[in-house]
Structure 1
């Protein structure tokens, strides 16, 4: 098997889909006999595991939890002589990865996880439009230098093909060894530990970004007979907590340990995901793998991640009345997903994603 140098500007302990995808892919790639050293921004909050290669970094002032890394790759990674360099972000370390691939004359692969323009609003409200245009142009330029581009969904791939960028669809996949329905006793213990109300429960976990439109969940549930629970963190959380002040049916749990997430998903009667900008929506896949239906915005990759009447319900993004109706229909319609859950879990399994990833590497090496 090949050695693949993975470079990413976001990694643990930052909690998001990119961090967990890189970590999971690395673990599964190593199971197959390959190596995948990961280059990421160093932080005092986390000591590297073997094969993880931090580089000096400083906090990003506009987005809590993100860091700006020095655009360099450690010599230990160069010395391994990677067969492929795989960038998961287009920023400082993505640039360093591109330089490394050119210096070693090996293929350069890029994953398209999040549109760079989605971060424009964090830099300046007044200049958001021009910053978005600059980000879009830079992203096209960065992707054009890759030997292969990987998108996690057909929707994301189509948006790239419109710009003439050759792409391969490789789902991020779900660690179905971890994400599975848990027993009632484990769910009850989780609910007691966090003081969750004994009533229908809807919730969300993940990054609390403004673009996720999590405030729509608060607006849509004001008159719904259910408790609302948010796990995770991010820059939108303080505003959400202010909006929820005085509501005893809303809880904020903060970051949960990864080991607690299956119980979190299994405790929910509905996972609510109002974001219109997802390239896949890993947390929606995790919820489905745990047997929990998803109420999702009918936009972006969530139109294919969630199947109406099977794995959840869609609503028009930004329409809080429609979101309220979708939540109520989901709560009335089913306690758990239909009996084909195991079939769906097999389709979601990250091992299928690694099969597809291996095929992409093989294509660029040939």
Structure 2
């Protein structure tokens, strides 16, 4: 279906930095290289100047989660009038409802990507346990309703597909990895990065959003019990950064915080690391883990959520059980000891996790829903 016209709706886009943003941006670039068109409807942000095919919608800041914005559900006029083959929602809320309405009114196939288990974020809204539980149930019911209206649901991992089956989603669910730009994310000499940031010795690190749900202080706690001289490095930023800094001071850990690094610096960041540490239990895939693997850096992550699939235990890194800081520490030790073998294994996995493979799979989904709904189109 190369050459088809797709419009994607998302509640998070540039200049916000996260895995959803980069996935949409990268898919869009690859889709248009193949001769298609993929417009994006997203919350407006003064810091981002829209390019051709990008359609900002009026929005306000979301008070409970820094960096996110909430849009009034609407479809820009130029999108309503455009030739469309597929409508693709990357969110069940806000603009996701706009996508559902557009697909219904235009009688076009409706595809929904499931990026984030929103019930996991209820504790951002309240500290009341009863209210939090109620919000989780309400969120789950709403997600099930929304996704059941899709002609196809896309998830980035088998674990997430199984989760939706448990939720009772009855739409067709297909695994399509977010994919990594392996032209950009490839092993490089990390010496210059180390020298520029005055880094030496063994490096354990993470980059990405510093959300409380990521449990990043666990990285510090794991390293604190090691005899080796280690430096912990953090790229990215977010509301949990202060808690990570406090944990580092408490445990006397040499921790460096770089903030959000330019995209072009990330391959050097990953390549400079000995181990990428990823304690987040709420990932639907964990794009940064795939980027690290593509750069030849092993990942130690919790055996929870999609990281159970993203990390091939003993091959591209190691797992530890949720809450087991000693197990996390042991995984880091083992990864350091077997670094070269794991590196070769990681590099052998580059092609299967590439964005080109992901867009091939995305094309197959679009083709399938188009054929199934041909009488309607």
TM-score bucket of the superposed structures, by smaller chain: over 0.9
SS at match of 2:284: coil
Equivalent in the alignment of 1:311: 316
User: Does structure 2 conserve the Cα–Cα contact (< 8 Å) formed by 1:194 and 1:253?
Assistant: no
SS at match of 2:289: helix
Note the C-alpha offset of 1:343.
Answer: 3.3
Give per-residue Cα distances to partners, 1:235-275, cap 9 Å, x unaligned: 11121122223635101111111111100000100000011
Give per-residue Cα distances to partners, 1:69-103, cap 9 Å, x unaligned: 12112111222221111000111010111111111
Q: Which moved more, 1:102-111 or 1:242-251?
A: 242-251
Equivalent in the alignment of 2:192: 189
Equivalent in the alignment of 2:111: 109
Tell me the TM-score normalised to structure 1 length. Answer: 0.96
Equivalent in the alignment of 2:163: 159
Equivalent in the alignment of 1:230: 234
Give per-residue Cα distances to partners, 1:182-210, cap 9 Å, x unaligned: 02xxx2221232233x1100000111111
Equivalent in the alignment of 1:350: 355
Q: How does 1:23-42 map to 2 (within 5 A)?
A: 23-42=25-44
Match of 1:171 among 170, 174, 177: 177
TM-align CA RMSD: 1.3
Q: Distance in 2 between matches of 1:248 and 1:307?
A: 29
Q: Does 1:253 pair with 2:258?
A: yes
Equivalent in the alignment of 1:216: 218
Q: Distance in 2 between matches of 1:164 and 1:213?
A: 29
SS at match of 2:205: strand
Note the C-alpha offset of 1:321.
Answer: 1.0
Give per-residue Cα distances to partners, 1:102-121, cap 9 Å, x unaligned: 11110110000111112211
Note the C-alpha offset of 1:133.
Answer: 0.9
User: Does structure 1 conserve the Cα–Cα contact (< 8 Å) formed by 2:335 and 2:342?
Assistant: no
Note the C-alpha offset of 1:326.
Answer: 0.9
User: Does structure 2 conserve the Cα–Cα contact (< 8 Å) formed by 1:297 and 1:315?
Assistant: yes
User: Does structure 1 conserve the Cα–Cα contact (< 8 Å) formed by 2:296 and 2:347?
Assistant: no
User: Does structure 2 conserve the Cα–Cα contact (< 8 Å) formed by 1:62 and 1:123?
Assistant: yes
Q: Distance in 2 between matches of 1:217 and 1:231?
A: 13
Note the C-alpha offset of 1:63.
Answer: 0.7
Tell me the TM-score normalised to structure 2 length. Answer: 0.93
Q: Distance in 2 between matches of 1:336 and 1:191?
A: 22
Give per-residue Cα distances to partners, 1:34-62, cap 9 Å, x unaligned: 00001111111111122111111111001
SS at match of 2:267: helix
Q: Distance in 2 between matches of 1:193 and 1:175?
A: 25
Flag structure 2 segments of 5+ consecutive residues without an equivalent.
372-377
